[in-house]
Amino acid sequence: MPRYPSSQPTEVELQILRILWEHGPSTARGIHNQLAGERETNYSTTVKMLSVMLDKRLVKRDETVRPQVFRTVATQNRTQERMLKDLIQKAYDGSVGSLVLQALSSQKSSPGELAEIRRLLNELEGGKK
């Protein structure tokens, strides 16, 4: 049975998305210049990655201007939500609690992060202390 390509971004695609989220709409050359600061890559590889990302509908391209400008289809928050929902379904059998417990036990959280987690839990419980 053929394997269908994932709509989820790969590591390199996420790097490109981060560049676009941080810097806004950019040309392929601008994206490549930012990406080259993080990893060794050829311009042609960057263009190919953008082509794949167009097919996956992760980015869109404004063809009315030259050079063409790329922008993200979804916000960073929306992309993270989609990836997290996918992870919860695939790795934690749909259990948000299992994900949270694993995340909290896998590495130390800062006091500020723990305070934010407590605040959110209180808010979700309707302000109970």
In tens, the pLDDT along 22-74 reads: 999 999 999 999 999 888 899 999 999 999 999 999 999 999 999 999 999 99
Residues 6+ apart with CB under 8 A from 13: 49, 52, 53, 56, 58
Q: What is the CATH number of the domain that holds 86?
A: 1.10.10.10
pLDDT at 128: 58
Neighbours of 49 (CB within 10 A): 22
Q: Are 57 and 76 in the same domain?
A: yes
- 110 with 71, same domain: the answer is no
pLDDT band at 3 (very low <50, low <70, confident <90, very high): low
| Alpha carbons 52 and 104: distance in angstroms, whole number | 35
Q: 27 has which bridge partners?
A: 69
* pLDDT per position as a tens digit, 70-125: 999 999 999 999 999 999 999 999 999 999 999 999 999 999 999 999 999 999 99
Same domain, 66 and 27: yes
* Number of structural domains found in the chain: 2
Cis peptide bond N-terminal to 9, omega within 30: no
Alpha-helical (H) ranges within 8-124 are 11-23, 28-36, 43-55, 76-91, 96-106, 111-124
Domain that holds residue 127: 95-129
Q: Are 81 and 11 in contact (CB under 8 A)?
A: no
Q: How far is CA 28 from CA 38, 65, 85, 90, in A?
A: 16, 13, 30, 33
Average pLDDT, the chain: 92
